[in-house]
A and B are shown apart, each in its own frame.
Chain A
């Protein structure tokens, strides 16, 4: 599962921003 039991993300927000930027 990509969602941890406690619902928190394993990635830093910076990682997520970079991931989203990849869709630009």
Chain B
């Protein structure tokens, strides 16, 4: 009755709400945890102590060099056709404007195609992208490449409609990347409302002028750490089931949803197994990644350090798409291993979270999956995820203790059973 015992303890028993309460203390105490910041350093120290205090084994930190970019004061004002304060958030790795700021006419486009067609008009202007939200993977390309594409046609700055499925005038930040052979221009995200308004004005033929001022500094890479803890396997200790989430976040909100929830249900999986006095045959390893938001920086260095043991990694699991009401798992692996995971998911019938979806998603586990290690990601109700993602709204208020209990139960049953089965999951 191990699956039942895990579910009972997580959802109804003494551990009920524990991952939520632990996360609340962490998020309220530490706050947002941008790569290279003192807050992230404090968050890692906090977790190192907390995991030791929890009685987990082999608690240690693995050094990583991470980007260090800091936001400065920033604001944007529409000067024409009327005075209007534009809510902005500079994008990660953006350069600053000159101290006096940039004042320029705006060109509004809905796509890269439109920008390229109107390239002659864009020279010397601020490009405003009013791209519709289709899906995160598709729409985020505007945030990632918007500045580069605008600079290629001679723009002086870019303002990008936030990659969000809903908005209450909230800008959402995130990483962007420059290209070596393209001039660097300042870039920030703006609210959906302001992007749409400027689009409407532009379609009416109204001239729009914006003054943009952004402070931002990029420092040399900083020392940071992936945080690791284990329950060492009883029979095959060298073999590993890896459960994970990332500790770093953006510098707005509290990073409670992205990815506090994922990190803390991963910790909870080890706590629940320990509380039940269980020790799986294989080692259950918790990794709390650093530098995920800048493109899985901590995870890549972890992969480089440990890839020589790839044959001993049974499965890599990451929760980084919210810890709302869970429905099952995304899974990447061979057909034979998928059949086994589907069978394992039947153990989650008591909480109605038995689905297995086509692929696992997770920046931090992608290196391993690319090389054939089975991967799993938590599937929960993602409907509201991009309302709060990378915004001031990513706080504990978004999290729900009951939903986190269910996520923790699912995460624990799956990771424990895979770690305890006699055979590793078969690979292609």
The number of residues on chain A lying at the interface, defined by a beta carbon within 8 Å of a beta carbon of chain B, is 15
Number of interface residues of B (CB under 8 A): 26
Chain B residues with CB under 8 A of A13: 336, 339-340
In the assembled complex, B369 has its CB within 8 A of some CB on chain A: no
A20 touches B427 (CB 8 A): no
Chain A, interface SS category: loop
Q: Which residue in A3, A17, A23, A24 is a CB contact (below 8 Å) of B423?
A: A3
B344 on the A face (CB < 8 A): yes
Main secondary structure of the interface of B (DSSP, over half): helix
B422 touches A2 (CB 8 A): yes
Q: Kindly report which residue of chain A lies nearest to residue B420, judged by CB atoms.
A: A23
In the assembly, what is the distance between CA of A7 and CA of B310, in Å? 12
Interface residues of B in 321-365 (CB under 8 A from A): 334, 336, 339-340, 343-344, 346-347
Residues 1 to 24 of chain A near chain B (Cβ within 8 Å) = 1-3, 7-11, 13, 16-17, 19-20, 23-24
Q: Would B417 and A20 count as touching, CB distance under 8 A?
A: yes
Q: State in angstroms the CA–CA spacing of A8 and B3 once bound together.
A: 26
- Enumerate B365-419 residues with CB–CB distance to A below 8 Å: 413, 416-417
A20 touches B423 (CB 8 A): no
In the complex, A1→B40 CA distance in Å?
39
Residues of A within 8 A of B182 (CB): none
Known: A17-B343, A20-B343. Contact between A9 and B417, CB under 8 A?
no
Cβ contact of A24, chosen from B1, B311, B426, cutoff 8 A: B1
Cβ of B119 < 8 Å from any Cβ of A? no
Q: Which B residues lie within 8 Å of A1 (CB)?
A: 236
Scan residues 3-47 of chain B and give those whose CB is less than 8 A from a CB of chain A.
3-4
Contact B4 A9 (CB under 8 A): no
Given contacts A8-B426, A9-B423, contact A23 B3 (CB under 8 A): yes
User: Looking across the interface, which residue of chain A has its beta carbon closest to that of B2?
Assistant: A23
- Complex: how many Å from CA A1 to CA B343? 23
A20 to B347, CA, bound (A): 8
Contact A2 B4 (CB under 8 A): no
B421 interface contact, C-beta 8 A = yes
- The answer to the question of B73 belonging to the interface, with a C-beta cut-off of 8 Å to chain A, is no
A-B contact pairs, 23 of them (CB 8 A): A2-B236, A2-B424, A3-B424, A7-B334, A7-B428, A8-B426, A9-B336, A9-B423, A10-B423, A13-B339, A16-B340, A16-B423, A17-B343, A19-B421, A20-B340, A20-B343, A20-B344, A23-B3, A23-B344, A23-B413, A23-B416, A24-B4, A24-B347
